[in-house]
Chains A and B, each alone.
Chain A
Amino acid sequence: QKEVEQNSGPLSVPEGAIASLNCTYSDRGSQSFFWYRQYSGKSPELIMFIYSNGDKEDGRFTAQLNKASQYVSLLIRDSQPSDSATYLCAPGSSASKIIFGSGTRLSIRP
């Protein structure tokens, strides 16, 4: 089993709709969860992090965490063409390295 699993996509979502990105992880010791966005030809950048079970909202982005199910998701509301990118999930813990999922490629169609 991979440490972090994501649907590689591409996920195609119409402009203005909600994009839903999912991630499962195997390390039950993971305490923090991060979503990075990577535009084509660019480096990853942190967009959201969540530590506690439940939802965390930041603008159009909502991260959802369920530690019992080892599942974390990212919702993007009112999707814009500028949201087209690859989204990487990364669980972390204080004792371990940051391992990234393979990423989900998101495409927002006008």
Chain B
Amino acid sequence: KAGVTQTPRYLIKTRGQQVTLSCSPISGHRSVSWYQQTPGQGLQFLFEYFSETQRNKGNFPGRFSGRQFSNSRSEMNVSTLELGDSALYLCASSLSRGGGTGELFFGEGSRLTVL
């Protein structure tokens, strides 16, 4: 059974640009959550999607957005990039809504560097 797939794995952008990251969950999983991980802040919750609807949102500015498609694949977008957006972005999938079971399966992440 294939795991969670995130693309791209690495990317470099400059300030002001925008970026789109993709996540394909484990087959059959309907919930996709996104996290930002930095050395100073740890794992910060961005948002969770279930059945194409955003169910929960973390404390991030509106520059961070996401969506989920009918096949459960999800994308997140960051517009007007800032240096502080440099981080590892992790996607996690689960069978039910993440808060219910907590059994999140993480992808390998997309490492974003903003210059």
Contact = CB atoms under 8 A, between A and B. Distances in A.
Mutual binders A and B: yes
Interface of A: 32-34, 36, 42-46, 49, 88, 90, 92-103
A64 B103 CA distance: 18
Interface of B: 33, 35, 41-43, 45, 48, 55-56, 58, 90, 97-109
Given A88-B42, A92-B99, 7 more contacts: A93-B100, A96-B56, A97-B55, A98-B99, A98-B104, A100-B35, A100-B42
A32 B104 CA distance: 13
Main secondary structure of the interface of B (DSSP, over half): mixed
B59 to A, nearest CB: 11
A36 to B, nearest CB: 8
A44 B98 CA distance: 15
A36 B42 CA distance: 13
A97 B98 contact: yes
A44 B45 contact: no
A97 B102 contact: no
B102 A43 contact: no
B31 to A, nearest CB: 10
Contacts of A32: 100-102
Contacts of A93: 99-100
A45 B103 CA distance: 9
A92 B102 contact: yes
B97 A94 contact: yes
Contacts of B56: 96-97
